[in-house]
Structures are given as structure tokens and as C-alpha cells.
Amino acid sequence: MLRMHLAGTTAALFACTLAAQAQQAASPPFATTKVTDNVYIFRYGGHQSMFIVTPAGVIATDPISERRPAKPYVDAIQAVTKAPIKYVVYSHSHFDHIAGGKPFKDLGATFVAHKNAKARIAALKPDDVVIPDQVVDSKRNITLGGTTLELNYVGKNHSDNTLVMRLPKEKIIFTVDWIPIQGVQFREMADTYVPDIEEGLKKVIAMDWETLIPGHPGPGGKQTTDNAREQLAYLQDLSAAVKNAVNENKSYADAQKEIKLPKYEAWPNYNAFLPMNIERYFDFWNRGI
């Protein structure tokens, strides 16, 4: 019996490995996608950034080159235009998105981030993160070659320094790690401010835009205001369910075992991350953390 079980587990692991290899073989390590005439997505592994091309230069965002060369990103931009890379704007301070900017700095780019992001980076001094040259407080516009990019701060959410970058003419927003395309929140929602994230989502939903570019590709499909509405609904449903469990004196373990949100069960990582998302809201309702 034990041997059969082990054999089954080994076969399942082997099947998973094959599936993962097939997926890796199917998707190249990086890719550039044109969104509009002047706006592109650069995907690098499981991360992605937006870059904007104008006659006067390029506005790039997150270098997404932690522990890997930034050259593919620089090459992707230079394959579209020979105009100089004028700016690199950080979405927020997390290293997996902002590391690896030195080649952009060497080409003369000005680095911009929220003021709290600069403070965090300056305090932690990670080796491979360029310290921002300029900061944003509540709002700033960058206008270059006839294109305006708004840098909006809508409060604390997935960090205390997340920017919502909006192209008003193109009706596109780029914001990272807190409005996934049909996804639960990442693991235990580290660095996430509850309930501020729900207020931030309401502010983003109220903005004028049509297309969302997230920092991870997700399962693909539509990238619209619906994604922001669905994420707000998910967090509100999660919060209400966990609040009930706390009111009923449930333990962490029982809340994690008993709370199901079937509306969202088709989302990637639902089974893996929902218990961790529950723990984050349990801390909030139980301890005010």
C-alpha cells in the first residue's frame, strides 16, 4: 500500500515536472508586446514592465532584472527605437521588480520613484538597485515628446510606495502586484496594508482608464477595469468571511480550513494562497495588525 502510494506520488511529480518543462519550452524567456502605437509591454520570465516610446525618448518602468542581465530589456527597447531612454520609473520598492537598473543609469536615464520607495531603498541599500534621482509625493506628471504619463499615489496597498502610472490619452494604467489579472493575493500578503488596499482599489476604479498592465502576466485574457472590480470584491468577500470566523472565536487553523470562496476557485493559486491570504486578514480582525 505504502509502495503504491509512493509510486503514485513519484508519477505525479514526474508528470508535474514534464508539464513545467513543456510550459517553459513553449514560452520564451522574454517577449515584447505592442499595446498601442507608443506603449509596449516587456515580459521577462514571470515579470513584466511597460515602456513608452516618444520622438524625444523613452520612459521605461521597472528594470525587472534581479540576478539576471538587464540587457534583454535594453535590447527590446532599442529594437523599437534608437531614441534615448530618458526615465526609469519604479512601480514600488520591491527588489524583484526594481533590481538591475544600472545599464539604464549608464545610458543616462533619470530614475523616479515614490518618496517612500526612495527612503526604503536608501535604508536597505541593496547592491543591485539604483537609488532614485527624483521622487513623487501624491502626484506628478512626466511629459516627454508629446506623451504625458501621470504618476499617482493612491495610498498604502501592496507597499507604502506603490505608484499607479496612468496614460490619460491612451487610457492605460500600469501598477504592480496588487491588481492581478484574476488572481488571489501573493502568499501571506507581505508588506500589504489592510484595509487601506481596499480604499486604494476604489480610487483606481474611479480613474479614467480602460486597460490594465500588471507586473505579472497572470493567466492572460482581458485586462480591464473588471479586474480591479473583481479584486476589490475578492478582498471584501475574504475580509467579511474572516471577520465572521474571528467573531465566532475560530482558530487560525480552523478559519484556514473552513473558509471557502468558490466564486474565485478557478483563479490560479487559489488553493495555495487562499489560506495565507486568510491569515493576513485574520491578523487584522483578531489583533488589529
Residue nearest to Zn ion (CB): 94
Q: Closer to Zn ion by CB, 93 or 256: give it.
A: 93
Q: Closer to Zn ion by CB, 177 or 279: give it.
A: 177
Residue 62 Cβ vs Zn ion, minimum distance, rounded to whole Å: 10
Span 228-287, contacts to Zn ion by CB under 5 A: none
Q: Is 94 near Zn ion (CB under 5 A)?
A: yes
Residue 108 Cβ vs Zn ion, minimum distance, rounded to whole Å: 27
Residue 114 Cβ vs Zn ion, minimum distance, rounded to whole Å: 13
Q: Closer to Zn ion by CB, 90 or 209: give it.
A: 90
- Stretch of residues binding Zn ion (CB under 5 A), selected from 58-66, 141-149, 171-179, 278-286: 171-179
Q: Closer to Zn ion by CB, 94 or 280: give it.
A: 94
SS (H, E, C) the chain: CHHHHHHHHHHHHHHHHHHHHHHHHHCCCEEEEECCCCEEEEEECCEEEEEEEECCEEEEECCCCCCCCCHHHHHHHHHHCCCCEEEEECCCCCHHHHCCCHHHHHCCCEEEEEHHHHHHHHHHCCCCCCCCCEEECCEEEEEECCEEEEEEECCCCCCCCCEEEEECCCCEEECCCCCCCCCCCCCCCCCCCCCHHHHHHHHHHHCCCCEEECCCCCCCCCCCHHHHHHHHHHHHHHHHHHHHHHHCCCCHHHHHHHCCCHHHCCCCCHHHHHHHHHHHHHHHHHHCC
Residue 178 Cβ vs Zn ion, minimum distance, rounded to whole Å: 8
Q: Is 177 near Zn ion (CB under 5 A)?
A: yes
Residue 149 Cβ vs Zn ion, minimum distance, rounded to whole Å: 20
Q: Is 62 near Zn ion (CB under 5 A)?
A: no
Residues lying near Zn ion in the complex (CB under 5 A) are found at: 94, 177
